[in-house]
Every structure is written in C-alpha cells, then in structure tokens.
C-alpha cells in the first residue's frame, strides 16, 4: 500500500473515532463519576477492544462473518444484551452520576476497564465499520510499501 492510501485509512479511522456513540457515553460516565484516571482506563480498554477488532478483521474475520452470518448475529445479540444491561443499570441507579459525585463514591478501575472493553467488543457497528473499511483498502497479497 502506498503512503497516500495509509493516510486515507488513518483519516477515515480518525473520523470514526471522533463520532459519538455508546463508547463516548461510557467514558464520560466513568470520567465524571470517578475521575480522570478512570476515564483514561476506560478509554484505553476501549482502544484495546477496537484494536482487537482491527486485528481480527485483518486476519480474516471478514471471511468468517461473510461465510457464517450466525456468528455475526450472535455478536449482535450479545452486544444488544450488554447495551440493555447498561441501560437497565442506568435506570435502576439512584441519582446517577450527580449522586455519585456528591457522595464521593468511585467505581473500581477494573469496572472502568471492563466497561470500556465490553462496549467496544460487543458493538456490532464497530465490526461492520472495520469490515467495510478494510475491505476497501486491504486485498489478498497487499504488501506494505
């Protein structure tokens, strides 16, 4: 791949990272409720999940998901269940972020990392993004130049 193609890929990934979604809400929740360190841990865990999707896509997830729609459906349902779980917990919480801030109650770093990783790994939109993106830029036999 030429340098201009790498830059095109980089710009598209940056635009995707800047678009708001459920991951932004999770990072903001942990940052506001528990502080900057928790927000950083959440965002790094999210980045690791995105990196896993990128690596799996490059290694052939696109082929697997194209051949087995059942796997993609499973990932979609698990992701929807996780988002529903987050929504139910948000509705059941007493006072939300404002109450946690006033009470000084912080989440554990492990919870922040778990939420960041799960929001990326269980997001079927992210899988579709990488499948569509890398299929345009990466072909069989593509070499780094």
Residue 11: pLDDT over 80: yes
61: nearest Cα among 115, 14, 3, 131? 131
Confidence at residue 113, expressed as pLDDT on a 0 to 100 scale: 94
- Is the distance from CB of 9 to CB of 137 less than 8 angstroms? yes
Q: What is the mean pLDDT of residues 17-26?
A: 83
Q: pLDDT tens across 61-89, in order?
A: 667 667 777 877 887 788 778 778 877 88
Residue 36: pLDDT band by 50, 70, 90 thresholds? Answer: very high
pTM to 2 decimal places: 0.67
Q: What is the mean pLDDT of residues 78-104?
A: 72
- Is the distance from CB of 8 to CB of 137 less than 8 angstroms? yes
């Amino acid at each position: 791949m030429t340098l201009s193609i790498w830059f095109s890929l980089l710009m598209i990934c940056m635009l995707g990272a800047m678009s708001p979604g459920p991951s932004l809400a999770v990072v903001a929740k942990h940052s506001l409720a528990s502080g900057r360190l928790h927000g950083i841990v959440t965002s790094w865990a999210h980045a690791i999940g995105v990196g896993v999707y990128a690596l799996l896509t490059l290694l052939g997830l696109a082929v697997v998901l194209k051949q087995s729609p059942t796997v993609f459906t499973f990932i979609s349902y698990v992701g929807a269940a996780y988002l529903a779980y987050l929504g139910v917990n948000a509705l059941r919480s007493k006072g939300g972020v404002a109450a946690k801030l006033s009470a000084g109650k912080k989440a554990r770093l492990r919870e922040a990392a778990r939420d960041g990783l799960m929001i990326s790994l269980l997001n079927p939109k992210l899988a579709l993004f990488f499948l569509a993106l890398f299929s345009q830029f990466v072909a069989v036999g593509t070499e780094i130049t």
